[in-house]
Amino acid sequence: MSEDHEIEETETGTLPLDAWHRGKGGRMVEFAGYWMPIQYEGIVAEHEWTRTNAGLFDVSHMGQLMVTGEKAAEELEKLLPGAISTLKPGRVRYSLLLSEEGGILDDLMVTNATPWIEGDEEAGTEGHWGEPAYYVVVNGAMKWDDIAHLREFLDDEVTLTHMDEHALVALQGPNAATALNRVMRGVPEQLVFMQSMEFQFGEWPLRITRAGYTGEDGFEISVPAEYAEALCDRLCAEIEVRPAGLGARDSLRLEAGLPLYGHDMTDAVDPVSADLAFALTKKRRETGGWMGFEAVSAVLESGPKERRVGLAIEGRMPAREGAEIFAGERRVGRVTSGGFSPTLGRPIAMGYVATEHAAEGTELEIAVRNKRLPAKVVSLPFVPHNYYRGS
């Protein structure tokens, strides 16, 4: 492992697009140790714009890591419950970092970013895949812990690079592809949901991934920090694109049923209870060899005691994180994310409910202040996903 100096976060940091946000009228708040825009013109307006056109989100607080080396895949497989060695170049997978106890340390996206090396006729070499490389994007608030965890457990022959001189922006919405195609002609058609590519845009080396955290079609673009402002200006020059802040990002992901680390999952929750068993690749559930395997297998065997569910709430009063969920007089769960759905025009929530009360359609109550709000267990997402999986 290459050694980096220890960084102790004390003051609120600024990210490459800080001045750009302020220039656009972004209201800056402290988030994950950085100043980030919570909103520009308003959360609901940005939310609705993203659902109908395209919102541009700065997610540069997230940790962008590159894991390289001949043994990179097998080393990552010691820590991730997903299949990495069979992940083809250019493919993206959602995965989890787990503790020995099976708790979720973080959730992440891992991309096989192994480069294709062109052949050289004069030198007599053929085209071939270069050194295996995996691009990993982790949560901003967890990245320092994640880096420490990876450094501790990955073999020394594997190199972990923190790409802290890169910004990350997400262009999200039904018109994201149309807008991106006008700026970078031909790029969107080369990708479907959960695919990723390097793209040389003039002098800018970009990594473009068709994924996101809104439930919409869209792209995440990793860009060297010095070009981030110019890239955002280029994208926002398109009529479909407007900047959107963390507030809209949160309400969009809640509607899309996507869990948020530190709220809807923590190190006290296993992936089965968190309804993230899809991240446990079938084959690897049998073969094991990943941290947390025994603990998670036990839950798979016995079934989870509680489960993350969606909750549709009657009336207009939202239930927030921490609100207790009742079946009659019995407390059976708690809300972990809750708010108002601009798309549906009513409150929605996610929470953990004892398995015997977690079936779809179960009628429950949520305690908010001195009231009991009628709520029903519903399937997630609240608003259908609109991913592009090819025509």
Partner 1 sequence: MARYFTDEHEWIDVEGDTATVGITDYAQGQLGDIVFVELPEVGSVIDKGKDAAVVESVKAASDVYAPISGEIMETNEALEDDPALVNTSPEEDGWFFKMTIGDKGELEGLMDDKAYKSFCDSL
Which residue, 277 or 317, has its beta carbon nearer to partner 1? 317
Which residue, 242 or 284, has its beta carbon nearer to partner 1? 242
Which residue, 219 or 340, has its beta carbon nearer to partner 1? 340
Q: Binders of partner 1 among 289-318, rule CB under 8 A?
A: 316-318
Q: Pick one of 339, 343, 348, 364: the residue that binds partner 1 (CB under 8 A).
A: 339
The answer to whether 354 touches 374, Cβ cutoff 8 Å, is no
Q: Pick one of 24, 151, 285, 320: the residue that binds partner 1 (CB under 8 A).
A: 320
Residue 224: count other Cβ atoms within 10 Å of its Cβ: 16
Residue 47 within binding range of partner 1, rule CB under 8 A:
yes
What's the burial of 19, exposed, middle or buried (CB within 10 Å: 0-12/13-18/19+)? exposed
Q: Least distance in Å: CB of 78 to partner 1?
A: 39
Three-state DSSP at 198 gives strand
Q: What are phi and psi of 201, to 5 degrees?
A: -100, 95
**What are the tokens at 80?**
């991730």
Residue 44 within binding range of partner 1, rule CB under 8 A:
yes
The answer to whether 110 touches 281, Cβ cutoff 8 Å, is no
The answer to whether 222 touches 62, Cβ cutoff 8 Å, is no
Q: Pick one of 32, 36, 38, 325: the residue that binds partner 1 (CB under 8 A).
A: 38
Nearby residues of 58 by Cβ (< 8 Å), 6 or more positions away? 15, 17, 20, 21, 36, 37, 167, 168, 169, 232, 243
Residue 373 within binding range of partner 1, rule CB under 8 A:
no
| 14 Rama sector, left if φ>0, alpha if ψ -120 to 50, beta otherwise | beta
Which residue, 45 or 327, has its beta carbon nearer to partner 1? 45
Q: Least distance in Å: CB of 244 to partner 1?
A: 13
Residue 42 within binding range of partner 1, rule CB under 8 A:
yes
Q: Taking CB under 8 A as the rule, which mask of x and - marks residues 219-248 in contact with partner 1?
A: ----------------------------x-
Q: Binders of partner 1 among 247-286, rule CB under 8 A?
A: 247, 250-251
Residue 351 within binding range of partner 1, rule CB under 8 A:
no
Alpha-carbon distance of 148 to 144, in angstroms, equals 6
* Interacting residues toward partner 1 by CB under 8 A: 38-39, 42-45, 47, 247, 250-251, 316-318, 320, 339-340, 342, 347, 369
